[in-house]
Chain A
């Protein structure tokens, strides 16, 4: 079944809307990568950056990258799910507009207002600036996040409406009936629908809880006598943050399900195990967040034990279903490798490989030694830089008109090799107890920073080539019909 998107009133086509997303994502991604490179160069003492500006950059990089991972995932999800359910282009555009308004507010809060409380705005730090940023700057940042959250909420609700109109219920669209043996495998929904359903379930809950803690923090900014329990706020922030960033992966992985089969000429086989994995992932994404609080000894021990156990369990669907599925789909398929297929394949590998250090850090005994060291950015950059963003760049290249130029493979290898060096430098530093989020590093830590800087520079160069290729050909990309 193919369903066209409902056109926006202004007549913007669905394809043009997706291209607008990809342009914005590509540009913001490059800016945020450059901010990340700046931080590594500053830590390596190859660039002079004052600590207060370093922490502004750190906050902007964190918020920007989480936002852009979400937006690029949304572009992938919407592009493919609209083949199966009716969705509204106008709502898709509204989400992009809200994102841009939010981004302007956040960038203004940082680069004009000096806001540097970290992207997680951990309560009550936004109200304790040490005179470095004003209450209004902190509020602008939070309103920015609220705008972005509202945009995503509208997008998920519109996709939910479309899914319900075709499948009648979210359980059916998730594949729960097949998972529990209530329907034959042949009646299972397409992977894009299953993934979109999972994402909207978890993200709507995450965004709503995030909005609550944002509003509480906003009130606290202007009425300091209104306080909130710091541990409760931390729980809500990490629930929202964990769910949102994980949802970006589950949106982007649709590119793997849809793009790899185009080049391997093998359908992505769905079966009972596939749907069981998605049902379990839906539950586990919602209950695993206490693994961010393993060093908060005031938390109930049972919650932290669940955090550890679910961290381990949640790796299984990724490794044994999606990664295994990609390997099976590609194995001796006769594929003629190109950059788009290579990037989504690398994206699957990055996601799977990143699970290993993530599970290690989700183990309480290990977390005592690794928490808030550079091990943490090491593992999440593995499955964001080499996972989600690799999948997005694969999608971007998939939309770019074919070319035999040398530049695309060059961009691919720079990105992959640089990304691997960059993430390994973080992990090595973490195992040597180098803290994360430090503007100034001790002399003993510099070798890790310098190797990491070289890797980051290579990865930025690779992304620059891939994104520029797309931007230079976006007009012809807009003219091309959907490829699949």
Chain B
């Protein structure tokens, strides 16, 4: 869902910018008699654009910074008894995840660490879309919470380059209906 929104918004904005550059390039062969008034009106437009950008910036950041995935930001309500602690340990080039079977609606709290180098712990849903991720680092335990929403086999892929078998470093998580 997030991916689709980001892709659509990005493509639209990138397309608008590309169209603007193309429009200016195509029309540039014809010279204006006087450059001054055009610059003055461009600067006025820039002031409005700056104002608009600031409004968007404040709005999006206000919205998104309220949904941080970090342990320090998780609400008390979501840290109740239903949370299942899970150990996820990375080592070149395998994951050890205990336990690795859940039911839909359960919230797993992954305690992610590494025995050797940096790895990336990414959870893919049964449709092979990323639903959550965190880095696995030597010397640290990173906490990631995720609530399973559909039955099937979720996969964990390594998303931080960790050596020659990086692309083979994956594991399965089974999620039952109920």
**A contact residues vs B (CB 8 Å cutoff):** 51-52, 55, 58, 116-118, 122, 124-125, 128-130, 132, 229-231, 234, 264, 266, 269, 295-298, 301, 304-305, 308-309, 312-313, 316, 319-320, 323-324, 327-328, 330-337, 342, 345-346, 348-349, 352-353, 356-357, 360, 363-366, 368-373, 427-428, 431-433, 435, 437-440, 442, 444
Of listed A264, A365, A442, residue having the most chain B CB within 10 A: A365
Q: Is the CB of B2 within 8 A of A369?
A: yes
A331 with B24, Cβ < 8 A, contacts A55-B164, A125-B162, A298-B140 known: yes
Q: Is the CB of B17 within 8 A of A437?
A: no
Q: Is the CB of B139 within 8 A of A332?
A: no
- Chain A residues contacting B141 (CB-CB under 8 Å) are 298
Q: Shortest Cβ distance from B90 into chain A, in angstroms? A: 12
How distant is the Cα of A333 from the Cα of B28 in the complex, in angstroms?
6
A335 with B140, Cβ < 8 A, contacts A369-B3, A373-B130 known: no
**B contact residues vs A (CB 8 Å cutoff):** 2-4, 6-7, 9-11, 13-14, 17-18, 20-21, 24-25, 27-32, 35, 38-39, 42, 46, 49-50, 53, 57, 60-61, 64-65, 67-73, 92, 116-118, 120, 122, 124, 128-135, 137-144, 157, 159-168
- Chain A residues contacting B160 (CB-CB under 8 Å) are 122, 372
Q: Is the CB of A372 within 8 A of B159?
A: yes
Q: Is the CB of A363 within 8 A of B29?
A: no
Q: Shortest Cβ distance from A364 into chain B, in angstroms? A: 6
How distant is the Cα of A297 from the Cα of B124 in the complex, in angstroms?
19
A–B pairs, 22, beta carbons within 8 Å = A51-B164, A55-B163, A116-B164, A128-B116, A128-B117, A130-B165, A230-B139, A296-B135, A308-B64, A320-B46, A323-B17, A330-B25, A331-B27, A332-B31, A334-B29, A345-B21, A363-B61, A365-B67, A371-B120, A372-B160, A438-B166, A440-B167
Q: Is the CB of B164 within 8 A of A427?
A: no
Name A353's contact: one of B17, B118, B130 (CB within 8 Å).
Answer: B17
Q: Is the CB of A370 within 8 A of B6?
A: yes
- Chain A residues contacting B60 (CB-CB under 8 Å) are 312, 363
Name B124's contact: one of A230, A330, A433 (CB within 8 Å).
Answer: A433
11 new A-B contacts at CB < 8 Å, known A369-B131, A431-B4: A301-B73, A328-B39, A331-B38, A332-B32, A356-B10, A365-B64, A371-B159, A433-B129, A433-B130, A435-B159, A440-B168
A269 with B39, Cβ < 8 A, contacts A230-B118, A304-B70 known: yes
Q: Is the CB of A316 within 8 A of B10?
A: no
Q: Is the CB of B159 within 8 A of A327?
A: no
Q: Is the contact region of chain A dominated by helix, strand, or loop, or is it mixed?
A: helix
- Chain A residues contacting B134 (CB-CB under 8 Å) are 295, 297
Q: Is the CB of B163 within 8 A of A128?
A: yes
Q: Is the CB of A320 within 8 A of B49?
A: yes
Q: Is the CB of A334 within 8 A of B28?
A: yes
- Chain B residues contacting A297 (CB-CB under 8 Å) are 69-71, 134-135, 142-144
Of listed A117, A230, A435, residue having the most chain B CB within 10 A: A435
How distant is the Cα of A305 from the Cα of B70 in the complex, in angstroms?
11
- Chain A residues contacting B157 (CB-CB under 8 Å) are 435
How distant is the Cα of A279 from the Cα of B37 in the complex, in angstroms?
28
Q: Is the CB of B142 within 8 A of A296?
A: yes
How distant is the Cα of A364 from the Cα of B66 in the complex, in angstroms?
10
Q: Is the CB of B38 within 8 A of A332?
A: yes
A129 with B28, Cβ < 8 A, contacts A427-B10, A431-B4 known: no
Q: Shortest Cβ distance from B77 into chain A, in angstroms? A: 19
How distant is the Cα of A129 from the Cα of B116 in the complex, in angstroms?
11
Q: Is the CB of A328 within 8 A of B117?
A: no
How distant is the Cα of A332 from the Cα of B14 in the complex, in angstroms?
23
A132 with B68, Cβ < 8 A, contacts A295-B133, A332-B27, A356-B17 known: no
Name A364's contact: one of B18, B69, B124, B128 (CB within 8 Å).
Answer: B69
Q: Shortest Cβ distance from A66 into chain B, in angstroms? A: 15
* In the complex, the 3 A-B pairs of residues with the closest C-beta atoms, listed nearest first: A334-B31, A431-B7, A372-B159
- Chain A residues contacting B3 (CB-CB under 8 Å) are 369-370, 431-433
Minimum CB distance partner of B30 in chain A: A332
A234 with B118, Cβ < 8 A, contacts A130-B92, A297-B143, A330-B25 known: yes
Q: Is the CB of B10 within 8 A of A336?
A: no
How distant is the Cα of A250 from the Cα of B61 in the complex, in angstroms?
26
- Chain A residues contacting B167 (CB-CB under 8 Å) are 51, 435, 438-440
Minimum CB distance partner of A117 in chain B: B163
How distant is the Cα of A98 from the Cα of B104 in the complex, in angstroms?
58
Minimum CB distance partner of A378 in chain B: B10
- Chain A residues contacting B70 (CB-CB under 8 Å) are 297, 301, 304
